[in-house]
Amino acid sequence: MKKLIFSAFIATALCLSSCGKDDDNGGGSTSLTGDWYLYMLYNMDENIGKYNWRSPNQCAEQTRFEISDKVFKHKRVYEEGGTCKEDFVYYDYTTSNGVFNLTVRADSPADRKGKTVTVDYKMKNKELIITSKTSKGYYETRMLHKKGVNYSYLDPFVGYWRMTKATVGQTEAIVQDGKCLSGTVIASSIGFTLYLNVPDQSGRCQKTVTTCEWVKEGGKYYDITDPQKKEELAFVFSDNNTKLSYSTPSDKGLITIYLTKVR
């Protein structure tokens, strides 16, 4: 993780100088029944051929999963032609060893009556994590939050962060609309993706996307994407955990990126 950020910000420096541990109890009830909404998702970005964490857009964030004792109702909301569209599928279901066994009900609005589907699930910190295959054969993981549950107890790193500035040594660059320098971090409780745009020496915008797994141990954050190369992430939170900075040394001086929490 550090090496990837280091490489990207060396380009910035040159440009500037020239111009959880799983918790099955979740601290409370882990009942599957209830109304769940889409909080975050991890899926394949076919443009770059990588799996990444994403925050749902204004349409997708309206997606709902209503689970009762015997019925699983899925309301999917998606964007098409600039507007939000929706469809509904109702299932009968059973669960076994972390798997939903779903069968489309006769009263389902969809035209797939009787079709069977299996969906893996697990509960972590009162978040419902479901994983299934898409029509293209890719795996997709959806992080769901339950309506009415206060998730403020989650680690402060979890959420959507936007970069505001970067410093290399004594040189500072402010993120501005319409300029190349920008970045966001989408962090779930099990992984995060850093989307980073930086100018190279010629001023061309270079885009990098880095996805990592992380844990917090003893108050410190670690990148555990490669278990053999566990690496500390030098995160510093401030302003009631709404500001975040990350620093790493380089031969150009200390590199620091600053982010503000959007949600």
Query: Per-residue pLDDT for 244 more than 80?
Result: yes
- Cα Rg of the chain (Å, integer): 21
Q: How far apart, in whole angstroms, are the C-alpha atoms of residue 134 and residue 40?
A: 16
**Looking at residues 134-163, what average pLDDT do you find?**
94
Residue 28's pLDDT is 43
Residue 26's pLDDT is 38
Q: 34-146 maps to which CATH number?
A: 2.40.128.280
What share of the chain has pLDDT > 90, as a percent?
73
Query: Per-residue pLDDT for 27 more than 80?
Result: no
Q: What is the pLDDT of residues 98-127, one digit of tens each?
A: 999 999 999 999 878 999 999 999 999 899
Q: 2-20+155-261 maps to which CATH number?
A: 2.40.128
Residue 199's pLDDT is 85
pTM (two decimals)? 0.83
Query: Per-residue pLDDT for 208 more than 50?
Result: yes
Q: What is the pLDDT of residues 32-66, one digit of tens each?
A: 999 999 999 999 999 889 999 999 999 999 999 99
DSSP conformation class of 234: -
Residues across the chain: 263
Query: Per-residue pLDDT for 245 more than 60?
Result: yes
Q: How far apart, in whole angstroms, are the C-alpha atoms of residue 186 and residue 41?
A: 10
Which carries the bigger pLDDT value, residue 159 or residue 111? 159
Residue 3's pLDDT is 52
Confidence band for 13, pLDDT divided at 50, 70 and 90: very low
Strand duo 34-45 + 50-54: pairing = antiparallel
Residue 11's pLDDT is 42
Report yes or no: 159 and 3 within 8 Å, Cβ to Cβ. Answer: no
Residue 168's pLDDT is 87
Q: How far apart, in whole angstroms, are the C-alpha atoms of residue 9 and residue 136?
A: 35
**Looking at residues 173-179, what average pLDDT do you find?**
91
* C-alpha closest to that of 95 among 76, 67, 74: 67
Q: List, in sequence order, every beta strand (DSSP E) within 55-115.
A: 64-67, 71-80, 83-95, 99-104
Q: What is the pLDDT of residues 226-239, one digit of tens each?
A: 988 999 999 999 99
Q: What residue has token string 């029509």?
A: 135
Boundaries of CATH 2.40.128.280 in the chain? 34-146
Q: Which distant-in-sequence residues (6+ apart) come within 8 Å of 184 by Cβ?
A: 160, 161, 162, 163, 194, 195
